[in-house]
Structure 1
Amino acid sequence: MGDTSTDEQTKAAGTRRILLAGPRSFCAGVERAIEIVERALRSHPGPIYVRKQIVHNISVVEDFTRRGVIFVEELDEVPNGSTVVFSAHGVSPAVREDAARRQLDVIDGTCPLVTKVHAKARRFAARGDTVVLIGHGGHEEVEGTLGEAPESIVLVETLEDVQNLEIPDPERASYLTQTTLAVDDTAEFIGALRQRFPLLHEPSSEDICYATTNRQHALGAIVDESELVLVVGSTNSSNSVRLVELSRRQGTPAYLIDSSKDIQPEWLDGVTTIGLTAGASAPPALVDEVVGALRELGPVSVEEREISRETTHFELPAAVRDLPDRAQ
Structure 2
Amino acid sequence: MSIAEKPALSLLIAAPRGFCAGVDRAIRIVELALEKHGAPVYVRHEIVHNRYVVAELREKGAIFVEDLAEVPAGAPVVFSAHGVPKSVPADAESRGLAYLDATCPLVSKVHRQAERLVEAGRHIVFIGHCGHPEVIGTFGQVPQGAMTLVETAADVAKLAPADPDNLAFLTQTTLSVDDTAEIVAALKARFPSIQGPRGEDICYATSNRQAAVKAIAAECDAMLVIGAPNSSNSQRLVEVAQRRGVRAKLIQRAAELERGWLDGVRTLGITAGASAPEKLVRELIDRLAEHFSITEKEVETAREDIAFKLPRSLEVA
2:303 match: secondary structure? coil
The size of the alignment, in residue pairs, is 313
Aligned 8 A contact 1:29 1:111 in 2: yes
Aligned 8 A contact 1:107 1:320 in 2: no
**Separation of aligned partners in 1, 2:33 and 2:296:** 38
The structural deviation recorded for 1:160 is 2.5
2:88 corresponds to 1:116: no
The structural deviation recorded for 1:265 is 1.3
Superimposed CA distance per residue, residues 93-149 of structure 1 (whole angstroms, 9 cap, x where no aligned partner): 111111111111011100000000000000001111010000001111000000111
**Which residue identity is paired with 2:79?**
F
- What is residue 189 of structure 1 aligned with on the other side? 183
Name segments (4+ residues, structure 1) moved above 6 Å: none
**Which residue identity is paired with 2:105?**
P
Aligned 8 A contact 2:39 2:60 in 1: no
2:265 corresponds to 1:271: yes
**Separation of aligned partners in 2, 1:171 and 1:162:** 15
**Which residue identity is paired with 1:90?**
G
Superimposed CA distance per residue, residues 31-76 of structure 1 (whole angstroms, 9 cap, x where no aligned partner): 0001111111111035100000000101001111122210000111
Superimposed CA distance per residue, residues 257-291 of structure 1 (whole angstroms, 9 cap, x where no aligned partner): 11101111121111110000000000000000111
The counterpart of 2:130, out of the listed 131, 137, 140, is 137
Q: Which residues of 2 match residues 198-209 of structure 1 at below 5 A?
A: 198-209=192-203
**Separation of aligned partners in 2, 1:100 and 1:54:** 20
1:90 match: secondary structure? coil
2:87 corresponds to 1:94: yes
**Separation of aligned partners in 2, 1:102 and 1:244:** 42
Aligned 8 A contact 1:90 1:111 in 2: yes
The counterpart of 1:213, out of the listed 201, 207, 230, is 207
**Separation of aligned partners in 2, 1:84 and 1:270:** 49
Superimposed CA distance per residue, residues 217-263 of structure 1 (whole angstroms, 9 cap, x where no aligned partner): 00100011000100000001100000001111111000001110111
1:222 match: secondary structure? helix
TM-score when scaled to structure 1?
A: 0.93
2:53 corresponds to 1:52: no
Alignment RMSD (CA, Å): 1.4
Q: Which residues of 2 match residues 247-326 of structure 1 at below 5 A?
A: 247-321=241-315
